[in-house]
Amino acid sequence: MRAFHNLVLAAFALAGASGVAGAAIISAIEYYDPALDHYFVTALPLEIAALDGGQFPGWARTGLSFNVYAAGSAVAGSSTVCRFYGSPAAGLDSHFYSASPLECQQVLQRFPGAWLLESYDVFEVFLPNLNTGQCPAGSIPIYRAWNQRIDSNHRYTTDVSVLLAMVAKGYVAEGYGPGPAPTAMCSPVNASGGASAPVCTPIATDTAPYVGTTITLFANCSGSPTGFAWTGCSSSGGRCDASASVAATQTYTVVASNASGTSAPASIDVRWRSLPPPPVCSMIVSLNTVPPVANSLALLKAECSNTPTGYNWGNCGSGTSLCEARSPVAGVQTYSVSASNAGGTGPAVSTSLSWQASPPPPPGLCGQYPSYLFSDLGWVNTQIQSRDFADAPGFAWNGVWVVKLSIPVNATSTQTGRITVAEFAGPPTPRELTISRVACDFRPDDPTGNNGPLLRAETSEPTEYFVLGGSSGGAVGLMPGVDYYVNIRNWQAQTSSISCAPSILRCDALFFIQLPR
């Protein structure tokens, strides 16, 4: 979009020189460049012609647009929209729009040299109520979504389903009024209200929420409605907040109207669910030495049931399921975590790590390898990504990844479990996997497990099945009350050589385990 900055002065000059007759409602057209992953809107004829004519390769219409007043219209109650260009020198190369004079001034004051003012009036719209987000009569919301990246691109749309889709991709909804769809600006509606009566498809921010929570319903309608009537939800606007105290399916209906008529009733079913049980967690610990050395990394992962929405760590700073722990001195440190969801907070689980002043002897047969990543899994259904362990060497190109399984004494099942190691964020890499009672064990197989691994798999995505007790049906038997080690290395069996290039430094993988049910 750098070239746009050279075009805009001519575009704005032409728009100003031509003048505007009356309150002209025009379309702001949306474009998208997949290479940049950027959106751009413009109502300037010179820019539209340049974009549609291929002057700026990569940009194409999305098919979406919204109404605005042409620059200079000065409709009573309307607000001019300023436009800034983000300087590529600041890592931006993007555009930003605001109908708020205060926000325009704040951008000028806070980001001099980064955001360059192109115009105070690229087009005109209305501002919503700054507290409620409600648009004035004769206008509908324009939503603004921010990509949360250093290139700071925004998408502007009047389609709430588009906004919610962008939020689901990681964007943040910006504007006035309550979430999840605050209003940034308000688009004027054509005086006729549209060529035909509205047609509506209501949507909800959640169609299977928990009782006691609040969702927002949106009347997603054609024909630029000017009036709305809801059944099952109290609102006279195009959005309605709903809650429930009883688990049941509730039907919400909306009827919209404009100058051309009234829509047919349109409904959506929302299945309100009972609150879930609080989460119950276990903790997975990954280390590059066992026990860890002072100032090294201990990656703690909370593996919890019942879909947590929040995590509470003790002696470790994090709000997610992963927490990086370090101790500057040797000694024992205890770490804990509990998780919460709509049903409450579950019990805390803890682990203690004995930090060492110097590297301890490696476990099992790990001393014959340059490094090892050790993940103490316990006994849970989960997946672990070696890339989450950020410190070098992690799962080094020439190292070993050891995953320790601790089978409870009382574990019982007649079903089959599964272990898979898959590629993660890298090229396909042949790997060797063994299951043994010894860490880093790649000796010849020994079905008894006394002098070598119980089994071995050699492929780009090794998978092995296991049962509890004696081996059965081609699946290796693992005994309750015993610790086992899944040993993984980047290895090409045909050439008996390391399969990961040294220049890559590490070839990360994903470890997945499904326990026998």
Average pLDDT over residues 15-34: 71
Task: Give pLDDT, residue 16.
Answer: 45
Task: Give pLDDT, residue 132.
Answer: 85
Given a cut of 70, is residue 59 above it in pLDDT? yes
Average pLDDT over residues 136-163: 92
Given a cut of 70, is residue 496 above it in pLDDT? yes
If you search the block for the tokens 């004829």, which residue do you land on? 45
Q: How far is CA 464 from CA 340, 421, 427, 455, 489, in A?
A: 34, 9, 22, 9, 15
Q: Kindly compute the dihedral angle of the four CA atoms of residues 186, 190, 194, 199, in this order, to the nearest 10 degrees.
A: 10
Name the residue with higher pLDDT: 24 or 35: 35
If you search the block for the tokens 């919301």, which residue do you land on? 141
Given a cut of 50, is residue 52 above it in pLDDT? yes
Given a cut of 90, is residue 193 above it in pLDDT? no
Helix (H, G, I), strand (E, B) or coil at 103: helix
Which H helix or E strand runs over 465? strand 463-468
Weakest-pLDDT range from 133-142, 279-288, 372-381 = 133-142
Task: Give pLDDT, residue 157.
Answer: 96
Weakest-pLDDT range from 8-22, 270-284, 399-413, 418-432 = 8-22
- Return d(Cα 384, Cα 403) in angstroms, integer: 9
Residue 230 φ/ψ, nearest 5 degrees:
-105, 150
Does 393 sit behind a cis peptide bond, omega within 30 degrees of 0 on the bond before it?
Answer: yes
Alpha-helical segments (H) within 59-131: 101-110
Q: Kindly compute the dihedral angle of the four CA atoms of residues 44, 47, 52, 57, in this order, to the nearest 10 degrees.
A: -150
Reported as a single tens digit per residue, the pLDDT across 266-303 is 999 999 999 999 999 999 999 999 999 999 999 999 99
Name the residue with higher pLDDT: 423 or 194: 423
Domains of the chain: 2-188 (no CATH), 200-271 (2.60.40.10), 281-514 (2.60.40.10)
Contact present, 29 and 59 (Cβ < 8 Å): no
Interacting residues of 276 by C-beta distance below 8 A, sequence separation 6+: 210, 306, 307, 341, 342, 343
Average pLDDT over residues 382-394: 94
Weakest-pLDDT range from 211-220, 430-439, 451-460 = 211-220
pTM of the model: 0.62
Task: Give pLDDT, residue 416.
Answer: 95
Length of the chain: 517
Task: Give pLDDT, residue 61.
Answer: 95
Q: What is the DSSP letter of 210?
A: B
Reported as a single tens digit per residue, the pLDDT across 67-113 is 999 999 989 999 999 999 999 888 888 999 999 999 999 999 999 88
Which H helix or E strand runs over 285? strand 281-287
Interacting residues of 230 by C-beta distance below 8 A, sequence separation 6+: 217, 219, 236, 240, 252, 253, 254
If you search the block for the tokens 């460049």, which residue do you land on? 33
Class of residue 330 by CB neighbours under 10 A (exposed 0-12, middle 13-18, buried 19+): middle
Reported as a single tens digit per residue, the pLDDT across 177-188 is 887 889 999 999
